[in-house]
Amino acid sequence: MNMRSLTGSRIRERRMSLGLRQGDLAKSIGISASYLNLIEHNRRRIAGKLLTELARALSVEVTALTDGAEASKVAALQGAAASAEAAQLGVSLDTEQLEEIAGRFPTWADLIAQQHQKIRALNHIVDTLSDRLAHDPFLSTSLHDVITTVTSIRSSSSILAKEDELDPEWRKRFERNIFNDSRRLAESAQSLANYLDGAADASATLGSPQEEVDRVLEDRGFSFEALEGDAAPQGVVTSLIDEANLRSPQAAGLLRVVLQRYQQDAALLPMSTLLKALNADLAVEAVQRQLNPVRLAARLQMPLEVVLRRLAHIPEGKAPFPMGLVICDASGTLIYRKPVAGFDVPRVGAPCALWPMFRALNQPMQPLRAVVQQVGASRPAMRAFAVSTPVVMGDFDRPAIYEATMLIAADTTAPPSEAEKVGPSCRICSVSECAVRREPSVLADTISAF
Amino acid sequence: MSETKTVLLVEDEPNIMEALRFVLERDDWRVVTHSDGATALGAITDIAPHVVVLDVMLPNKSGFDILRELRAGQNTVPVLMLTARGQQKDRDMAIEAGANRFMTKPFANRDVRDALNTLIAQ
């Protein structure tokens, strides 16, 4: 039975929804009730004048009776029928059967379609949280701490409960242990709760020290006016850390490193100097040129990595286009993230190995540039500039340790045709066949190779 | 128990260690404790206990690594592994490393005591 052959069902449904009796409707259009009954049970085809009259009597468009709203319903049902849940139940329905369900039981069809969508959304959440559980060192360590503390409380309390003639000295010791463990458990549980709240609501307090620091930087728009210039007052970094009201000393330590570097960069290359040089560099002889941080570094006689970091921190509205920055250490771990719209930087887990910054790690001191574009809808091409530079100088007994810095410029002139396709991170990348994929994606629908 | 048996507890959580020590000493075990992963292998060799209770997450070296090295040295002392992770892959890893028993935290004191008695009897 195809969609059109369900016209009778739709007539019946519409008549009943209007509270019309079959005989009354039949009479109003000049046919017998028994004939209408055959039509309503899809045993007589209906078209032309009679269909038009029925539509008018039922106050609907003819197409509402012939095509109905089932097309979208059927499409949604097809998704449900092709789902893993349907396969698990051994349910196999062809298009004709789905059309019949959509036509005869539209409300149930809606419910099935909505539940299918809900299941898909929930599966995605479960996958994402599983991903976080599997890859988040903070969560893993916190859970381990909670379980260990619970074990300790259980062991001590069972001794108190089961040993009737416990020596007072031992009793006191186990009571003290339980007290200390319960306090530790409360702190761990609170920290975990805060962390998980943060997973559900990005504006909530975040858990790990790095995430706390990320949050502070985001709240401040990655800009610290107090640190600009070479005459920032002493103690300003400490004041900013105090203002941040961080929960852990580890986060305060991380933020101090970030702010101290910011302050050093600002002293080396004041923002006004950078902006003046940038504007002059981009508009030589009134010709708009592309951003070239190497050329800019030469003009300013500054290290390239300093120029990249300062470019990324130009206050909003003063930059020619938005710019993001990522820095990774020698292990490839991201230690600084300033995101830019259109280029996702994962908070947890490793990013895509195709990012130019990882090539830079293999070619220390060699500036690299590329046009990159992340896979996914509405992702613009962007210009990336990367360099790896030593953070610990080598000597005869010790190799140099490098970090890589990558500026991501959302320059609208970046040509998509030249863009290298990259992902955000494997777990949330939709490219199925990728030479550098290290783990499966949580995304159900993947596209083939780059 | 006809003769005093020695158990080496390798665990870095002092309160768990204290509770287990109390329970096992009540059962006439001689309990020796050790909390550092890096030196645990030497302690097992030196003390030569009848049985070892070995935590997986230890400072400086994991219980799995300690156990692998122990078995590589042909030491067959029965080992009960304790871990906060109870997935099948963790159990498989423990068995592959050479554990005789595997117990997931939080456990009951009684379960540890029973497991040790079983290991000794084997």
pLDDT, one tens digit per residue, over A96-150 is 787 778 777 878 888 888 888 888 777 766 655 665 665 565 666 677 788 889 9
Residue A193 lies in a domain: yes
Other CB atoms within 10 A of residue B10 CB: 28
- Identify the domain boundary among A200, A225, A253: A200
The residue that leads in pLDDT, A67 or A445, is A67
| Residue A28 in contact with partner chain B when CB distance is under 8 A | no
Contacts of A158 in chain B (CB under 8 A): 108-110
In this prediction, residue A450 carries a pLDDT of: 44
Contacts of A150 in chain B (CB under 8 A): 105-106
Mutation site, A139, A142, A143, A152, interface B, largest B CB count within 10 A: A152
Q: What are the tens digits of pLDDT across the range A228-252?
A: 876 667 788 998 998 888 877 888 9
| Closest among A418, A439, A253, A262 to A346, alpha carbons compared | A439
Would you call A203 helix, strand, or coil by DSSP? coil
In this prediction, residue B31 carries a pLDDT of: 96
Q: Which residue from A148, A156, A180 is facing B84, i.e. has the nearest CB?
A: A148
Q: How far is CA A140 from CA A37, A214, A223, A309, B101, in A?
A: 66, 20, 33, 32, 24
In this prediction, residue A2 carries a pLDDT of: 53
Q: How far is CA A403 from CA A314, A358, A389, in A?
A: 22, 10, 6
Q: What are the tens digits of pLDDT across the range A421-440?
A: 998 888 767 777 788 888 77
Instruction: Please give the Cα distance from B57 to B83 (Å, whole number).
Output: 7
Residue B15 lies in a domain: yes
Do A140 and A117 fall into the same domain?
no
Residue B1 lies in a domain: no
Q: How far is CA A70 from CA A2, A42, A95, A111, A120, in A?
A: 11, 16, 12, 13, 21
| Closest among A17, A19, A66 to A42, alpha carbons compared | A66
| Residue A184 in contact with partner chain B when CB distance is under 8 A | no
In this prediction, residue A17 carries a pLDDT of: 81
Q: What is the mean pLDDT of residues A61-74?
A: 72
Do A104 and A76 fall into the same domain?
yes
pLDDT averaged over every residue in chain A = 83
Q: What are the tens digits of pLDDT across the range A337-394?
A: 998 888 888 877 789 999 999 999 999 999 999 999 988 655 789 999 999 999 999 8
- Identify the domain boundary among A121, A151, A183: A121
Q: Please list the residues that pair with A326 across neighbouring strands.
A: A337, A406
In this prediction, residue A213 carries a pLDDT of: 87
| Residue A152 in contact with partner chain B when CB distance is under 8 A | yes
Structure tokens at B82: 């304790």
Q: What is the mean pLDDT of residues A81-102?
A: 76
Shortest alpha-carbon distance between residue A172 and chain B (Å) = 13
Find the length of chain A: 450
User: DSSP label at A106?
Assistant: H
Q: What are the tens digits of pLDDT across the range B92-107?
A: 889 999 999 999 999 9
User: DSSP label at B59?
Assistant: S
Do A331 and A445 fall into the same domain?
yes
pLDDT band at A307; cut points 50, 70, 90:
very high
Residue A278 lies in a domain: no
Provide long-range contacts, Cβ within 8 A and 24+ apart, for A336-343.
Answer: A336/A258, A337/A214, A338/A217, A338/A222, A338/A312, A338/A313, A340/A382, A340/A408, A340/A409, A340/A410, A341/A410, A342/A374, A342/A378, A342/A379, A342/A380, A342/A382, A342/A410, A343/A372, A343/A374, A343/A379, A343/A382, A343/A408, A343/A410
Do A71 and A172 fall into the same domain?
no
Do A97 and A173 fall into the same domain?
no
Q: Which residue of B has its CA nearest to A151?
A: B106
| Closest among A188, A175, A176 to A149, alpha carbons compared | A188
Q: What is the mean pLDDT of residues A62-81?
A: 73
**Type of residue at A122:** L
Place of tokens 């599997």: A134
Residue A277 lies in a domain: no
Q: How far is CA A410 from CA A214, A335, A353, A446, in A?
A: 21, 21, 20, 26
Across A10-24, A187-201, A313-327, least confident range: A187-201
- Domain limits at B49? 6-117
Q: Which residue from A143, A155, A158 is facing B16, i.e. has the nearest CB?
A: A155
| Residue A154 in contact with partner chain B when CB distance is under 8 A | yes
Across A89-98, A318-327, A362-371, B108-117, least confident range: A89-98
Q: How far is CA A315 from CA A221, A270, A272, A275, A385, in A?
A: 8, 12, 11, 10, 19
A315 preceded by a cis bond (ω within 30 of 0)? no
Do A86 and A183 fall into the same domain?
no
pLDDT band at A206; cut points 50, 70, 90:
very low
Residue A264 lies in a domain: no
DSSP string, A338-407: E-BTTB---SSS---TTSHHHHHHHSTT--EEEEEEESSTTPPPEEEEEEEEEEE--BTTB--EEEEEEE
Across A180-189, A433-442, B19-28, B112-121, least confident range: A433-442
Q: What are the tens digits of pLDDT across the range A13-52?
A: 888 888 888 889 999 989 998 899 988 888 888 888 888 8
Domain count, chain B: 1
Residue B103 lies in a domain: yes
Structure tokens at B24: 């096992």
Other CB atoms within 10 A of residue A390 CB: 14
Structure tokens at A78: 């097809």
Residue A94 lies in a domain: yes
pLDDT averaged over every residue in chain B = 91
- Identify the domain boundary among A86, A121, A156: A121
Q: From start to end of chain B, where are the E strands?
A: 6-10, 30-34, 51-55, 79-83, 101-104
Do A324 and A450 fall into the same domain?
yes
Q: Do B108 and A177 touch (CB under 8 A)?
A: no
- Please report, to the nearest 10 degrees, the dihedral formed by the alpha carbons of residues A275, A276, A282, A287 taken in order: 140
Among A residues 275-314, those touching chain B with beta carbons less than 8 Å apart: none
Contacts of B15 in chain A (CB under 8 A): 152, 155-156, 177, 180-181
Instruction: Please give the Cα distance from A242 to A339 (Å, whole number).
Output: 25
Residue A209 lies in a domain: no
Do A105 and A140 fall into the same domain?
no
Q: What is the mean pLDDT of residues A273-280?
A: 92
Do A442 and A379 fall into the same domain?
yes
Among B residues 42-101, those touching chain A with beta carbons less than 8 Å apart: 57, 84-85
CB A386 within 8 A of CB A404: yes
Contacts of A180 in chain B (CB under 8 A): 15
Do A45 and A147 fall into the same domain?
no
In this prediction, residue B49 carries a pLDDT of: 96
Residue A15 lies in a domain: yes
Q: A442 φ, ψ to 5°?
A: -85, -10
Domain count, chain A: 3
Q: What is the CATH number of the domain that holds B101?
A: 3.40.50.2300
- Please report, to the nearest 10 degrees, the dihedral formed by the alpha carbons of residues A86, A92, A97, A102 taken in order: 10
Do A324 and A438 fall into the same domain?
yes
Contacts of B108 in chain A (CB under 8 A): 154, 158
Do A443 and A325 fall into the same domain?
yes
Q: Is the torsion defined by CA of B53, B59, B61, B64 positive or negative?
A: positive
Shortest alpha-carbon distance between residue A241 and chain B (Å) = 31
Q: Which residue of A has its CA nearest to B82?
A: A148
Q: A383 φ, ψ to 5°?
A: -100, 130
Across A298-312, A320-334, B74-88, least confident range: B74-88
In this prediction, residue A1 carries a pLDDT of: 47
Residue A113 lies in a domain: yes
Structure tokens at A318: 């003063």
In this prediction, residue A447 carries a pLDDT of: 46
**Type of residue at A91:** V
**Type of residue at A251:** A
Percent of chain A having pLDDT more than 70? 84
DSSP string, B24-55: HHHTT-EEEEE--HHHHHHHHHHH--SEEEEE
Q: What are the tens digits of pLDDT across the range B14-50?
A: 999 999 999 999 999 999 999 988 889 999 999 999 9
CB pairs under 8 A between A and B: 53
- Domain limits at A99? 4-121
Instruction: Decide if pLDDT at A197 tops 50.
Output: yes
Structure pTM? 0.48
Those residues whose C-beta lies under 8 Å from the C-beta of residue A376, and which sit 6 or more positions away, are A344, A424, A430
pLDDT band at A205; cut points 50, 70, 90:
very low
Q: Do B107 and A151 touch (CB under 8 A)?
A: yes
| Residue B106 in contact with partner chain A when CB distance is under 8 A | yes
Q: What is the mean pLDDT of residues B4-20?
A: 94
In this prediction, residue A407 carries a pLDDT of: 97
Residue B92 lies in a domain: yes
Q: What is the CATH number of the domain that holds A431?
A: 3.30.450
Contacts of B18 in chain A (CB under 8 A): 156, 173-174, 177
A19: left (phi over 0), alpha (psi -120 to 50) or beta: left
Residue B113 lies in a domain: yes
Q: What is the CATH number of the domain that holds A46?
A: 1.10.260.40
Q: A285 φ, ψ to 5°?
A: 50, 40
Q: What is the mean pLDDT of residues A275-285?
A: 84
Q: How far is CA A179 from CA A106, A155, A291, A298, in A?
A: 60, 13, 61, 63
Instruction: Decide if pLDDT at A274 tops 90.
Output: yes
Residue B107 lies in a domain: yes
